[in-house]
Structure 1
């Protein structure tokens, strides 16, 4: 019986990681200039392969009570309806990846993401270097911002940030001198070549929180308070992002100064509130950004279409695109997870999620698996991240 259970668990993990790898790799490529070569709605082809794999893992290997099955099926119906309303069917894949992560080691998920992500990232970078795909270069205030094969410079910088977060999870926060150097070099690179100042600050925050985790491992009690504060990071981030955008006015001097510091994100957030109402199941949000081929042509004046309008805040983007139900479920889920993990002496994952919570104020990657894999930790097995009682 033990051997059978072990074999089943390995098979279930293999199914899940296969589905995750395929979805993750596609989503990563979709953020690059290779996306221009993909046929329209190619995500539906990917989902046609990924969804059966995940459903097989969930139905054949996971064990739930009748009430739990009912809750999951109800959730799937609501998510499918939301995806249809928002016109973004990848939400179904994300939901099943979260549900399917049950009893799968998050350490293995992180290792898979790091391996696949680095391989894809390097391939895209080299492809841009040898001109297989364009390296879009945006001129801002006399400084060129390189995208290195990704659709926009800040998206490239965000990939770097989230790969570093994944790397920290794989290393379980136990950094040696060269790990610190890798992070410092990455921060310098995105600052110098992408002029991505906010993502550079986020990498610095990551290093500070990893230093806090080192103090926790050393038994420094005051450092534990930082982990407890991280429990509310997602709620605080959402409140700040939504509140500042909603109450923004150019007539309020400090808000206008903050808006300038955040590259007009508050003004664009206020515009989003003016154009769209809140719905339970979301809606189609029409944006016009500067990323990708069409966006670059518009940025350089070679193509004149609509005015620039993009929602950078992940909190506002999720709230308007996917509706109140998904936004509330994510907020409650993240907060519950961080509280549970700190109680179980896993201080690292809540600290890493705190970085993503800050990132989501300025970036739109809360539900983008190609960046943020930490949403998959909500139901995954995180036992290997817990410190021993004597730690």
Structure 2
């Protein structure tokens, strides 16, 4: 019986990681300039292949009570309706990836994301150096910002950040001297070649929190207080992002200074609120960014379209695109997860998620699994991350 149960767990994990690897590799690949060669609505093909694997894992191997099945199905109906109203059908895949992660080791998920992500990242980076795909170079205040095959320089920098976060999870937060050097080099690289100042700061924040985790492992109890503070990181990030955008006015000096520091993100957020009201099930948000082939042509003046309008904040994107139900569910889910993990002695994942919470103020990657795999930790098995601190 023990051998049968073990075999079942391995099969279930294998099914899940196969589906996740497929979704992750496609989503990562789609952020690159190779995306121009993909057919329109190619994500539907990915869903058609990956969903049966996920559904088999969920239906055959996961054991739910009738009440739990009802809750899962209700969530699926709400997500499907939101995907329809927002035009973002990949949301269905993200939901099933979250549900399917039940009883799957998040350590295994992070390892898969790191291996597949690094392979895809290197392929894209080298392809741009060999001119197989364009390295879009944006000139800002006399400085060239390289995208290295990704559709926009800050997206390239965000990939670096989230790969480092996955690496920290795989290493269980225990960085050696060469890991610190690698992280510092990454911070310098995205600052020097991409002029991605905010992502450079976020990498520095990651290193600070890893130092805090080192203190926690050494038994320095006051450091645990930082982990407890991280429980509210997502709520604080959402409040700051939404509040500052909503109340932004160029007539308020300190808000205008902050807006300039954040590359006009507050002004664009206020514009988003002016154009769209939050809906229960979301809506189609029409944006015009500078990423990708068309965006680069607009940036360089070779293509005249509408004014630049892009929502960088994940919190604002989720609220307006996916609606109130998804936004509130995510906020509650993240906060509950972080509280539960700290209560159980897992201090690392809440600290890493705190970095993503800050990132979500300036980046739109909260529900993009090609960047943020930590959303899958909410229902995954995280026992291997727990510490016993005296």
TM-score, with structure 2 as normaliser: 1.00
Cα deviation, 1:86-128, whole Å, max 9, x if unaligned, reads: 0000000000000000000000000000000000000000000
Cα distance in 2 for partners of 1:112, 1:288 equals 33
Separation in 2, partners of 1:189, 1:359: 18
Q: Secondary structure at the match of 1:113?
A: helix
Query: Secondary structure of 1:118's partner?
Result: helix
Partner of 2:264: 264
Aligned to 1:329: 329
Q: CA deviation at 1:247?
A: 0.1
* Distance of 1:221 and 1:61 partners within structure 2: 40
Superposed, which structure 2 residues align to 1:9-28 within 5 Å? 9-28=9-28
Deviations 1:210-246 (A, max 9, x none): 0000000000011010000000000000000000000
Structure 1 residue 388: deviation in Å?
2.6
For 1:116, the equivalent position in structure 2 comes to 116
- Residue matched to 2:225: 225
Partner of 1:162: 162
Other structure's SS at 1:289 match: coil
Counterpart secondary structure, 1:309: coil
How far off is 1:85 after superposition?
0.3
Cα-to-partner distance string for 1:275-332 (whole Å, 9 max, x where unaligned): 0011010000000000000000000000000000000000000000000000000000
Please say if residues 219 and 389 of structure 2, whose CA atoms lie closer than 8 Å, have aligned partners that are also in contact.
Answer: no
Question: 5+ unaligned residues in a row in structure 2: which ranges?
Answer: none
Alignment partners' CA distance in 1, 2:141 and 2:261: 14
Structure 2 counterpart of 1:187: 187
Partner of 1:51: 51
Partner of 1:207: 207
- The answer for the alignment partner of 2:241 in structure 1 is 241
- 2:95 counterpart residue number: 95
Equivalent residue number for residue 196 of structure 2: 196
1:255-294 to 2 correspondences below 5 Å: 255-294=255-294
User: Is 1:35 aligned to residue 35 of structure 2?
Assistant: yes
Secondary structure of 1:145 counterpart: strand
- Report whether the alignment pairs 1:355 with 2:355: yes
Within-5 A mapping of 1:60-71: 60-71=60-71
The SS at the match of 2:121 is helix
Q: What residue in structure 2 maps to residue 77 of structure 1?
A: 77
Give the whole-Å Cα distance in 1 for the aligned partners of 2:112 and 2:93. Answer: 17
Q: Scaled by the length of structure 1, what TM-score is found?
A: 0.99
Deviation per CA, 1:9-52: give whole Å up to 9, x if none. 00000000000000000000000000000000000000001111
Q: Alignment RMSD, CA only?
A: 0.5
How far apart, in 2, do the equivalents of 1:154 and 1:37 lie? 22
Q: Is the 8 A contact 2:206 2:355 kept in 1?
A: yes
Measured after TM superposition, the shift of residue 389 of structure 1 is 4.9
Count of paired positions = 390
After the TM superposition, list the runs of 4 or more consecutive aligned residues in structure 1 that deviate by more than 4 angstroms: none
SS in 1 for 2:316: helix
Query: What is the CA–CA distance in structure 1 between the aligned matches of 2:349 and 2:305, rounded to whole Å?
Result: 43
Contact 2:216 2:224 in 1 (8 A): yes
- 1:376 corresponds in structure 2 to 376
Shift of 1:360: 0.1
Q: Distance in 1 between matches of 2:51 and 2:325?
A: 22
Counterpart Cα distance in 2 of 1:58 and 1:49 = 15
Native 8 Å contact 2:280 2:325 kept in 1: yes
For residue 138 of structure 1, give the secondary structure of its aligned residue in structure 2.
strand
Using the alignment, how far apart are the partners of 1:51 and 1:238 within structure 2?
31
Distance between the aligned counterparts of 1:9 and 1:245, measured in 2?
46
